[in-house]
Amino acid sequence: MEVRAKKSLGQHFLTDQSIARGIVDALTVSEVRDVLEIGPGMGVLTQYLLQREDIDLKLVELDGESVDYLLTHFPGMQGRLYQADYLRLDIHKLFPGPYRVIGNFPYNISSQIFFKILDDKDRIPEVVCMIQKEVAERIAEGPGSKTYGILSVLLQAWYDIDYVMTVGSGAFAPPPKVQSAVIRLRRNARTSLDCDEKLFKNVVKTAFNQRRKTLRNALKPLLPEGFDASDPVFDLRAERLSVEDFAALTRLLFGN
């Protein structure tokens, strides 16, 4: 029994076993045993995750054909495997406490997955995932780069990012048209941005939505009436600002 890769779900199944083992090995040994695998497909990561005695694994898979495959080929999947859309899942029903995340994320929804991870950042100390190489580089990049963007800032605010490895298209069936990469996110020590977090997100998103404009022009929709935008920071473009700079900018605009 094989699972047919479905374009609508962005499925490209990893077939290179050495890469699969490398992804699983990138998940560090931790006191947090609970691990969620997102989109296990035919279990290329699952087989190695099940060999690790330091974790308690649960899996979320939307595709019914993949669920049937996993239940058939991996004894003991009952009670571990949930057929559900991760983006709509109430994750607190699966994990009442902290948990780590691993998976070959569907490329068409990887950004949405990261936004959901950010919503639960205080319970997720680590994420290991394979995503499109371009997105991985964007997330790991620092200020000043043309690829530095919204996800870069929001994820780097709360996580240290490691670029683990590049994966060519030949490692998949069917081969994607893009290269892939594995990254690891580890929760940093930051507990607060010293500003309103929702306003911070709004400032970051608004600034990058018109990234070619200076902040003075890009942030016009957010500037309070009569606000004096003479500070030199407003002469910069969004890509020049670090996480700390955006937090300071949020405080400048809206106070603490």
Give the chain's domains with CATH numbers.
7-187 (3.40.50.150), 197-254 (1.10.8.100)
- Tokens for 157, please give them: 């605010």
Residue 13 has a pLDDT of: 79
- Under the banding of pLDDT at 50, 70 and 90, the label for residue 174 is confident
Of the given ranges (70-79, 148-157, 212-221, 239-248), which has the lowest mean pLDDT? 70-79
Note the pTM of the prediction, 2 decimals.
Answer: 0.93
Quick: pLDDT tens for 94-136: 999 999 999 999 988 999 999 999 999 999 999 999 999 999 9
Indicate the SS3 state at residue 180: strand
Q: What is d(CA 69, CA 44) in angstroms, rounded to the nearest whole number?
A: 12
Q: What is d(CA 163, CA 220) in angstroms, rounded to the nearest whole number?
A: 35
Helix (H) / strand (E) containing 186:
strand 180-187
Q: What is d(CA 223, CA 245) in angstroms, rounded to the nearest whole number?
A: 17
Average confidence (pLDDT) over 182-211: 97
- Under the banding of pLDDT at 50, 70 and 90, the label for residue 234 is very high
User: Is the sign of the CA dihedral 128, 168, 87, 218 positive or negative?
Assistant: positive
